[in-house]
Chains A and B, each alone.
Chain A
Amino acid sequence: MIPTAGLGLKSQHYDDAIICDADGLWFEVHPENYMSAGGPRLAALEAVRERHPVSLHGVGLSLAADADPDADHLRALKRLADRFEPFVVSEHLAWSTHRGAHQPDLLPFPRTRAALDRICDNVGRMQDALGRRVLVENPSLYLPLQGHALDEVDFLTALVARTGCGLLVDVNNVFVSASNLGYAAETYLDALPAEAIGEIHLAGHAPDPGGSGLLIDTHGAPVAEAVWALFERLIRRIGPRPTLIERDDDIPAFATLLAERDRAAAVLASINTAELHHV
């Protein structure tokens, strides 16, 4: 089976996930939630994996920290990759661990040449440890920074060229960051190297309840229509890619998420690959 549109796997939906037989359905998990010696979560993931392709989407390796990736974390990730044989392993262009403390978020940094060197090293270490290519995801950004030597697309393109990694394009993150930092999401998406893109994420966002005018990548709502439009635009250019609906807050019934996932699958199926726009 070729993975088409998938869902983030939630613990309250394990039983639904195991029995669902939608064509092309796959599931994604954060490996950090399964980094235990044993227990029922690993057993449930085992049961899901017997029926569906699975991807491991890391949120905690801290590739953009000015430090080597944590050796224990890499070992734990390798054990999960060996056990569950994911069709994709991915991480974020962000940092979260700093001087021994882990901040559970995906934090920004000035995209300097030195930062590029460091992150290329870290992606290389991750790929060497796992013995496979990984995908790197664009983050949601909230804070305008000075000192960028490269814009994000050029930075990601250089990362791909130098490490052989691929890209996970989170279309909602592009929409949120473009809105927060004042650039055009379409221009950003049009400039991404098509052949490097191995997966797409879609999720919901919300205005900052603090009234700042920022959009927040909450993963707590259905995918916005503007994000669906950007998704269609992207895959019309690059062709179908495994696409994930992410939902981490205010989680609805499995059937509701599956309907959203079916919409993504229909968009992917509607693309006639012979008539793709030239990339």
Chain B
Amino acid sequence: MSELLAFQDAFVAALAGDGARLSPWLVSSDADAPGLAVYRNTIAKGCVDALADNFPTVRALVGEEWFTGAAVLFSRERPPEHAALLDYGAAFPAWLERFEPAADLPYLAGVAHLDRLWTEALFAAEAPVLEAAALASLPPDTLAAARVRLHPSLRLATFDAGVPGLWLSARAGDDALELGESPQTLLLIRRAGAVSSRIADDAEAAFLRACREGDALGRAAERAAEAQPTCSIASLFAGLIADGAFSGLDLDPPA
């Protein structure tokens, strides 16, 4: 092993509290030199600040002190894998689910998951937005055989209990937060640089999942109707187009 690597191994061990291995390189005999604490604090602050940016709803629900404590523990177990911290915390929702002090907050991991999807939507690739006018001249059979491409920023998450409603209320700054008992699906889409989010009904969720799995629009409409027989496919489709849910249309066979 090179001396540089041996030093870096020892430095990382010292950051984690085991200063003995670093002592051959230290001028001071004090293995807990104050300079090490400066590096340790800067690293912890960098990780906590990144997680606070990426999980604002979790932080709002549990408060700064609780959040910081959890974020410090998480960052020690799961440090960032690369320098682009805007992506940090993909593992945080699952970690919170196993985090003992969060046991009496059963919705917290779900809230973290929705914060993560919001970040993914914000930084997803750019793509054009399919406009209703592009479909206006298509005969019904052609439209039924066509496939839509979902916008790269579109995210969809379904929960057994009403985590999406709670997340939306917390995000809006409401004080009265309630966890509904029915399943809910949240739909997130970035449009004109901002992420919008709303509850999607069962028909919309079934329709979007069918599109994501590559079904033609006719089949996607059938699956939406199976999920929610009372739904109006025309207004459902028009609403999703207005949301910016689609980035393009592929005719079958290609025109």
Contacts and interface: CB of A to CB of B under 8 A. Distances in A.
Given A40-B193, A145-B27, A147-B25, A60 B84 contact: yes
Contacts of A141: 35
Nearest to B4: A66
A105 B25 CA distance: 19
Interface string A200-217: 000000001010111010
Interface in B5-56: 5, 7-9, 11-12, 15, 24-28, 33-39, 42-43, 46-47, 50
A144 B27 contact: yes
A102 B80 contact: yes
A59 interface: yes
A39 B124 contact: yes
B26 A114 contact: no
Interface residues of A, number: 53
A213 B123 CA distance: 41
Contacts of B5: 66
A66 B2 CA distance: 8
B210 to A, nearest CB: 25
Contacts of A84: none
A20 interface: no
Contacts of B141: none
A251 interface: no
B125 A38 contact: yes
Nearest to A72: B82
A142 B8 CA distance: 16
Contacts of B3: 110, 112, 114-115, 147
Contacts of B126: 37-38
Given A38-B126, A101-B80, A208 B38 contact: yes
A109 B190 CA distance: 43
Categorize the interface residue count of chain B: 35 or more
B34 A107 contact: no
Contacts of A214: 34-35, 38
Interface in A142-157: 142-147
A103 B37 contact: no
B118 to A, nearest CB: 12
A96 B125 contact: no
A109 B8 contact: yes
B42 A37 contact: no
Contacts of A72: 82
Nearest to B127: A38
A110 B86 contact: no
A216 B38 contact: yes
Given A38-B152, A66-B4, A146 B25 contact: yes
A146 B193 contact: no
B136 interface: no
Interface in B58-94: 79-87
B122 interface: yes
A104 B190 contact: no
Point out which of A76, A95, A107, A208 has the most chain B C-beta atoms below 10 A from its C-beta: A107
29 contacts: A32-B83, A32-B84, A33-B86, A35-B87, A37-B124, A39-B123, A60-B83, A64-B4, A70-B82, A97-B82, A98-B8, A98-B12, A99-B9, A99-B12, A104-B85, A105-B39, A107-B11, A109-B8, A114-B4, A141-B35, A142-B34, A142-B35, A143-B33, A144-B27, A146-B26, A146-B27, A147-B3, A180-B35, A212-B37
Top 8 closest pairs, chain A to chain B, by CB = A60-B83, A104-B46, A143-B35, A212-B34, A142-B35, A36-B123, A40-B193, A144-B27
Given A103-B15, A144-B35, 5 more contacts: A33-B86, A96-B83, A102-B80, A104-B80, A110-B25
